Amino acid sequence: MTKLVADQADGLRRLLAHTPTRVVAIAGMRRREGVTSAAMNLAAALVHQGKEVLLVDEHPAHADSVAGVWSIRAPAGEGPVRAECGVEFLAAPRWQPQASIDLRARRHGGVVLIDAALDDEGRLSPFAQAADELLLVLQPRADSITTAYAGIKRLHYAHGLKQLRFLVNGASGVDEAQKIMSNLANTGSRYLAVSLEPSGWVRADAHLADARCLGRTVVESFPATPAAVDFRGIAADMLRWPWRAPARTAQADDARAQERRMAMSQALRVPAPRPASAAA
């Protein structure tokens, strides 16, 4: 029996060694969109679904950062620290040299989530550029939708972005979220030739703030609430996302980058999608 168990364990290790690691960068085009909350709750939901999860934080530590909410002391450059919820946390500010860190090697067959920080020009870090998927978080407000669309344009021209996913955070209900997702997806396809794939919505829920005050996620503290249910659903869907070509093309040379900047200045004149309240 002992040999059988050992053989099974060895077989499992070999299987996991060949299971690809899914890397998802989660970003927002401005503060207060709920990006960090989404990253933390999705990470906790994935752990509850049996996945090994590494959450990489590109932001400096402060009260509202992942480290601040979870009360983790993890200086940049040190190894991952396991949070109470089972998620491993790694501090990796975007100004820190990152070439030596191989995220996929750290989590065979698991999931790596990146709480991505854009630079002053709205560009992704090397970590986030290497992700399999970019998940954009936005709020169901006209200003948030407009800012998100402008940011998508910048990402498209800066990185040759071909596709990304987006999540509507704080929706009042299904109808509002679906109108926003339909508008944004259609506009991106029509004006940018970028595939904008809806990845769901999280309903507005006062328990999110309550959980944050407890230093935990809503998935852990209030699992039956609307937001917790939504996060678990999105996490389950994430594990079923099809594997596809990288979200960005290879880095352009200086001349190509200059062409993109010129094209971008003209493309920014394209009208942004209408908010849900103005949708037909």
Phi, psi of 8 (to 5 degrees): -65, -40
pLDDT at 263: 43
Domain boundaries, the chain: 20-278
Q: How far is the C-alpha of 53 from the C-alpha of 161, rounded, in Å? A: 25
> β-strand 163-171 against 133-138: which pairing, if any?
parallel
- 197 against 255, higher pLDDT: 197
Q: Which range has highest mean pLDDT (7-11, 108-112, 155-159)?
A: 155-159
Residue 146 CB neighbours (<10 A): 17
- H or E segment at 264? helix 254-267
Q: How far is the C-alpha of 203 from the C-alpha of 226, rounded, in Å? A: 6
Closest CA to 179 of 273, 95, 102, 252: 273
2 pLDDT above the threshold of 70: no
pTM above 0.75, yes or no: yes
Q: How far is the C-alpha of 160 from the C-alpha of 260, rounded, in Å? A: 9
pLDDT mean across residues, the chain: 81
Q: How far is the C-alpha of 60 from the C-alpha of 52, rounded, in Å? A: 24
**CATH number for region 20-278:** 3.40.50.300
DSSP state at residue 279: -
251 pLDDT above the threshold of 70: no
Which pair of structure tokens corresponds to residue 205?
Answer: 């829920």
Q: Which range has highest mean pLDDT (15-19, 121-125, 138-142, 260-264)?
A: 138-142
pLDDT at 18: 52
Q: How far is the C-alpha of 213 from the C-alpha of 217, rounded, in Å? A: 10
> β-strand 81-82 against 88-91: which pairing, if any?
antiparallel
Exposure on the CB side of residue 209, measured as CA atoms within 13 A: 5
pLDDT at 71: 86
Q: What percent of the chain has pLDDT over 90?
A: 50
Per the listing, tokens 């972005």 go with 161
pLDDT at 215: 93
Strand arrangement of the beta sheet that strand 88-91 belongs to = 81-82, 88-91, 53-57, 111-115, 22-27, 133-138, 163-171, 195-203
23 pLDDT above the threshold of 60: yes
Query: What's the pLDDT tens digit per position in 67-106?
Result: 889 988 766 666 788 999 999 998 887 655 554 456 666 6
Which pair of structure tokens corresponds to residue 119?
Answer: 């630079």
194 pLDDT above the threshold of 90: no
Q: How far is the C-alpha of 84 from the C-alpha of 40, rounded, in Å? A: 12
